[in-house]
Structure 1
Amino acid sequence: MNEPAQTEPWSPAELEDRLRAVARERYHDRHPFNVRMHEGDLTPAEVRGWIANRFHYQRHIPVKDALITAKLDSPHLRRMWLRRIEDHDGRAEGEGGIERWLRLGEAAGLDRRTLLAGDTVLPGVRLAVEGYVNFCRLRPPLEAVAASLTELSAPGLMRLRVDAFERHYPWIAADGLAYFRTRVDQGRRDSTEALALVLEWARTPDEQRRAVAALTYKCEVLWALLDAVQGQG
């Protein structure tokens, strides 16, 4: 049964409930590939394929965050969002989330130069990532920020992933899991900040619907990425 059309704004609490429901029910932790990963059912080749393709997404996170930063209209907000770029790019060579992902790849037996070249990235992954970057380039700040709220579910997934890799994939060196460990606290902080902005900015029914739709779209991007990776097997 379709939900009645929204005629009045939701309260901030109602909007938050709806956003959290999307993050909870549509997040890619439910994707069959991730379920298999966390149950220990992936082969080494499948794990390496996922790491290589997911890196294409990881390396574009600071790109989409730079596009969002350029849309923000105050130094305070730009400083806040700029920190996300530093989290992934680092403040110096050898730092940041992208570097930690490269080390994950090396711990799994992948060559760093191969990861950076990106020659093995699947077309479906490229399309999913390009779509998300363009979304952040073209949509207004409310929607670009709302799309980032998949971070609401990220801390729990990162804890689950560390446990799964330690339990089921001991051939990956423990220090290669640093990316996942770091993102537990970063994801909690980032989602708290972004949620506060969305609840402040989304005042009208149309704005609130667009915020929920943006988060739904981001969940679909992450699912499409895993659909492509799963399909390569």
Structure 2
Amino acid sequence: MTSALVQVDAPWSTEEFERRLRQVAEERYHDRHAFNIRMHSGDLTPVELRCWITNRFHYQRHIPVKDALVTAKLDTPALRRMWLRRIQDHDGQHDGEGGIERWLRLGEAAGLDREALLSGDTVLPGVRLAVDGYVNFCRLSPPLEAVAASLTELSAPDLMRTRIDAFERHYPWIRPDGLAYFRTRVSQGRQDSAEALRLVLRWARTRDDQERAVAALRFKCDVLWSLLDAVAHAGCPEGA
């Protein structure tokens, strides 16, 4: 009796693999979502913009949580030090520093109360589900997929520049000092995405590895898209 041969697809070249990853980021990133388009066109009301800031903060505050889960999966001190920087970028090394603090200041610059933001009482259920899904994905996935999911950062620097311009042009009622988060993420996002891309290109040796990495990036794009769906369709009361 002869066993059937299993056809295994050859891996993509490094160039083709990177092209496919970048294509996902270009085609599925949430900059194409109608809510983001309205934001950048200056069409959001103050209530809508404050609603987005409030709900996006729920995502922001969980970034260092998912990065801690990714860090725990990395098997060398050099890799852990590299990923640990991401946690420090968001949590800061001291009180009053970091990306989470800068997002709180964005909320205050837009007229939101810091304690209300920290309470999370008005976060929409759909946003909670999307964020929980991403954190659990990073908790349960192997390092390749957990890192590949972060590659939405390939598109983040351009989005941050677009957002800074839109806020300065269309939402002058938001104090300029509140835009510090966006300004900082231009350079941080560029560094983070370059590091993660090098890891994914190196770790994905088989076609199956490569396809799982692409699928992980698609999933992350869906998380960000779902967050905006929740904000756009559920609506927020005045003061949320």
TM-score (norm 1): 0.97
Name 1:8's counterpart in structure 2: 10
Alignment-derived partner of residue 238 in structure 2: none
Q: Distance in 1 between matches of 2:105 and 2:34?
A: 26
Larger Cα-atom Rg = 2
Output the CA distance in 1 between the equivalents of 2:166 and 2:44: 11
Q: Which amino acid aligns with 1:119?
A: D
Q: Distance in 2 between matches of 1:17 and 1:87?
A: 28
Equivalent runs, 1:61-210 vs 2, <5 Å? 61-210=63-212
> Partner of 1:95: helix, strand, or coil?
coil
Partner of 2:112, secondary structure, is coil
What runs of 5+ residues in structure 1 fail to find an aligned partner? none
How far apart, in 2, do the equivalents of 1:197 and 1:58 lie? 23
Q: How many residues align?
A: 229
Amino acid of the residue matched to residue 179 of structure 2?
L
Q: Please tell me the residue identity of whatever aligns with 1:197.
A: L
Deviations 1:107-135 (A, max 9, x none): 00000000000000000000000000000
Q: Kindly provide the CA deviation profile for residues 43-97 of structure 1, in whole angstroms up to 9, marking residues without a partner as x.
A: 0000000000000000000000000000000000000000000000000000000
Q: Secondary structure at the match of 2:186?
A: helix
Q: Determine helix, strand or coil for the equivalent of 1:93.
A: coil
How big is the shift at 1:6? 7.8
AA aligned opposite 1:231: H
C-alpha distance in 1 between matches for 2:43 and 2:14 = 41
Q: Which residue of 1 aligns with 2:3?
A: none
**Secondary structure in 2 aligned to 1:219?**
helix
Structure 2 length normalisation: TM-score?
Answer: 0.95
**Shift of residue 232 of structure 1?**
2.2
Counterpart pick for 1:36 among 35, 38, 41: 38
Aligned residues: percent identity? 79
Residue number in structure 2 paired with 1:17: 19
Q: Return the alpha-carbon distance in structure 1 between the equivalents of residues 173 and 110 of structure 2.
A: 7
Counterpart CA distance in 1 for 2:70 and 2:78 is: 14
Q: 1:125 to 1:202 in 2, by over 3 A?
A: same
Q: Which residue of 2 aligns with 1:224?
A: 226
Task: Quote the Cα distance in structure 1 between the aligned partners of 2:233 and 2:91.
Answer: 30
CA distance in 2, matches of 1:136, 1:200: 19
Give the CA RMSD over aligned residues.
0.9
Distance in 1 between residues matched to 2:135 and 2:182, nearest whole Å: 22
Per-residue displacement from partner, 1:3-38 (whole Å, max 9, x unpaired)? Answer: xx9811001111000000000000000000000000
**How many angstroms apart in 1 are the aligned matches of 2:114 and 2:68?**
25
Structure 1 runs (4+) deviating above 2 angstroms are none
